Amino acid sequence: MSIKFGASILSWIPPLWTPEGGKYAIAQSQAAGFDLLEILLPASMEFDALTVKRQLKQHHLEAVCSLNLPANCHIPYYPKVAVKLIKAALDKTATLDVTLLGGVLHSAINVFSGNLRTAAEEEIICEVWAEVADYAQHLGITIAIEPINRYESYVCTSAAEVLQLIERVNAPNLALHLDTFHMNIEEDNFREPIIAAGNRLAHIHMTESNRGMLGEGNVHWDDLFGALAEINFQGNLVLENFSSSVEGMATAVSLWRPSRHPAWELARGSLKFMKENAAKYNLV
């Protein structure tokens, strides 16, 4: 196993998957030189996995899947509905012959209780994770869970919180999915969460602090790549930056100022940055 360099569909299209948009994202990712595409699955599960699998193969591209829970699947409130959706996402992932499902799988984005996470909520989350991890294990899939910032969730905002709950569940196929945009807000630094995760770290969204070109913001990339070298990281480095040159993206992800770079330039420049730093730290 070795590091794979990927792009999120959000590098090319807005969050809502369409057959036309997906086909475009696949073609663009291959043309830009990425190894894989991260497919953000729609909560509707209106997703023709067999056709997408064929398109990926035609473009010599691998894939990973992700899912962000919608409001009606907020685990502390609606655990059974959340289990049903996550299992449906795992089925789509399996049909693609993909072995990783990442994303915000601890809570719904932008759903808040108004209080701190409770012990009872933790118990519900662990029960859901145990059930879906068992289901995923039979499909040969790892579930990687992404902490996000305090303005989008109250449930898991740091790597330590996710790792603590993973330890409680104790399922071998539960892993950590980090995102450098959220880390820049919530973590004390970029090294310690990676070291603490070790081989539990499976997937990273490589995102600048301003969602722009990697290396042009405040993320401490040397600390991050140095830590990845320390743990001999073998997972995915997936670009998730956004450009207002993509129609509909500004409203979808709150790009209230025009982006400095168009999507193609942003993707190619950021991929070059990732590869150069991975080589600098002997990760490739």
Q: Which residues are catalytic?
A: 146, 240
Question: Do 266 and 241 meet the contact criterion of CB atoms below 8 Å apart?
Answer: yes
C-alpha 284/C-alpha 275 separation (Å) is: 8
Cβ count within 10 A of residue 158: 20
Residues 6+ apart with CB under 8 A from 45: 85, 88, 89, 92
Give the residue from 269, 199, 254 showing the smallest Cα distance to 34.
269
Give the residue from 216, 252, 284, 224 showing the smallest Cα distance to 8.
252
- Within the chain, strands assigned E span 4-8, 36-40, 62-66, 100-102, 142-145, 174-179, 201-206, 236-239
Alpha carbon distances (Å) from 184 to 27, 61, 99, 169: 31, 30, 28, 27
CA 161 to chain centroid, in Å, comes to 17
